[in-house]
Amino acid sequence: MYLFPDAVIMVFCKAPIPGQVKTRLIPPLTGEEAAQLHCELTQKTLQTATQNHLCEVCVWCSPTIDHPFFTALAQTYSVDKHLQQGADLGERMHHAFGQALAQFSSAIIIGCDCPSLTNGDLEQGLSQLTQGKPSVLAPAEDGGYVLIGLKQPQPALFDNMPWGTDEVLGLTRVRLQSLSLDYHELDTQWDLDTVDDLKRYRPSL
């Protein structure tokens, strides 16, 4: 039985194709090593999301749903798979929220490269949504965010956003306010994109 039976956590994930994931770490890592790191981070994310049975968890896959890695994840963590659809990240996120919120009253999207995100953070976000907050947001140190949760689809939050830049968080806050959406901010997190992040994740490097 789930703690939040009317909610879902959606994990956005790319297939671990060498040269297409964690590219900002190549070099010093090889393409194969970067892909392996991506697999490790994804498994850590799913362990975090599925522990304590908070709510249903599903994986939103790119660029294809039938990569063997996704098949293994679905079996190991008992999660459903969905295909990301849209021309950019914003379209893909809005599409996923539309699908999820047709079935659940609350939905959260996370990526799979934030090792600082805990099960407690996810529980706090789900609790805020369940108690009536229209949105939750977990800021990232680099000016983006690592988690966003909604109770209704909000296309304006995802349209024409400069994804991958340090402007995303600020613009998202401005848009939430312009939509008169009350939102709760979780603790600031850090995601693993750069060599410095990798050293933080693995101090032994």
Contacts of 87 (CB under 8 A, 6+ apart): none
Question: Mean pLDDT across the stretch 146-161?
Answer: 98
The structure's pTM equals 0.97
pLDDT at 110: 98
The per-residue pLDDT for 97 is 98
The predicted structure's pLDDT at residue 203: 87
Top-tier CATH class for 7-199: alpha beta
Tell me if 147 sits within 8 A of 136, measured CB to CB.
yes
The domain limits of the chain are 7-199
Measured in whole angstroms, the distance separating CA 170 from the mean position of its chain's CA atoms is 18
At 1-34, the pLDDT tens digits run: 999 999 999 999 999 999 999 999 999 999 999 9
- Residue 205 confidence (pLDDT): 59
**Rounded to an integer, what distance in angstroms lies between the CA atom of residue 49 and that of residue 56?**
9
